Copies of this chain bind each other. A is one copy, B any other.
Amino acid sequence: MNPAQLAPAILVLGPPLVFRAYESEFTKKYNFLKPWETPIPLKQFISTCSANVKAIFCSAVSPVTAEIIQCLPELTFVLASSIGVNHIDLLECKRRGIVVANAGSTFSDDVADMAVGLLIDVVRRISAGNRFVKAGVWPLQGDFPLAHKFGGKQVGIVGLGNIGLHIATRLNAMGCIISYTSRTMKPQVPFPFCPGINQLAANCEILIISCALTEQTHHMINREVMLLLGNEGIIVNIARGAIINEKELVKCLVKGEIGGAGLDVFEHEPNFPKELFALDNVVLTPHHGAVTEEACKNLYDLICKNLDAFLSNKLLECETVYL
């Protein structure tokens, strides 16, 4: 018997991409329960092992509901492989005194790079140009439509946490004019604060969504915000799909009521509106903002540190007690 199997059981939900990438290393060190390896439905799987589960390790899209939590009387720790924790029932965790930890700032810079990449791509029509060239149209058709200048653009950052600040710094170096909205004004930040999303949208040509998904931010980017941004406006989302009202976004894009979008996240991943397929002014990536080989290695190290700390009752490397 693998000595790791004698250790407290950790239920893996998802599984997180980092788990699949480092499965053999993880399995040597910890006693993971992997429901996807059995044909038993998840609920039944959980009920059979409920007495042993001390911790959950979950991906960004695997819900940790009150129902799951209530099945696990010994649960004291939920560890997310993501920065966002909207998929975890934080109220129930708080009620039970369960500690919740996320991936901290492991990959804030990677997510910021993706936001910048998506934005340049939409503004300068890079993916569209790539399609134009690779389809062999250039020699036949000649001119490709003009794109817009990147520098000088008014960019509104929605949520100026770690990631938002990385984005702002990068775009500032490229000559964009930054302002932001956030729950609170950040006194040390050199960019102007805007108290509300409508005002930010009205004053900007680009909105970049980098806030957490909460009850307050759910569908915060609605039709009214999009119309204030205007028909040349661009929305980039590297946070969570449901911060935008996706149905309204699709309508606005199809009707040309906004100018374009760069989206790494969607409301119902991996599914998303097929109407966006044909739009040249929309660039879509499969929720890979945080996922690079290097970030995955860093995340593996952080997860191990946190699990080791949890298992030996030490302080977590990255502890977040929400609410």
A interface list, Cβ under 8 A from B:
17, 20-21, 109-110, 113-114, 116-118, 120-121, 124-127, 129-130, 132-134, 136, 138-139, 142-144, 146-152, 169-170, 172-175, 270-272, 274, 276-277, 283-286, 288, 291-296
Contact = CB atoms under 8 A, between A and B. Distances in A.
Q: Describe A's contact surface by its main secondary structure.
A: helix
The count of identical subunits is 2
Given A125-B288, A143-B17, A295 B149 contact: yes
Contacts of A118: 126
A144 to B, nearest CB: 5
B286 A138 contact: yes
A132 to B, nearest CB: 6
A288 to B, nearest CB: 6
Contacts of A113: 120, 124, 149-151, 174
A296 B117 contact: no
A27 B223 CA distance: 44
A21 B175 CA distance: 25
A271 B124 contact: no
Contact of A110 (B121, B150, B173, B277): B150
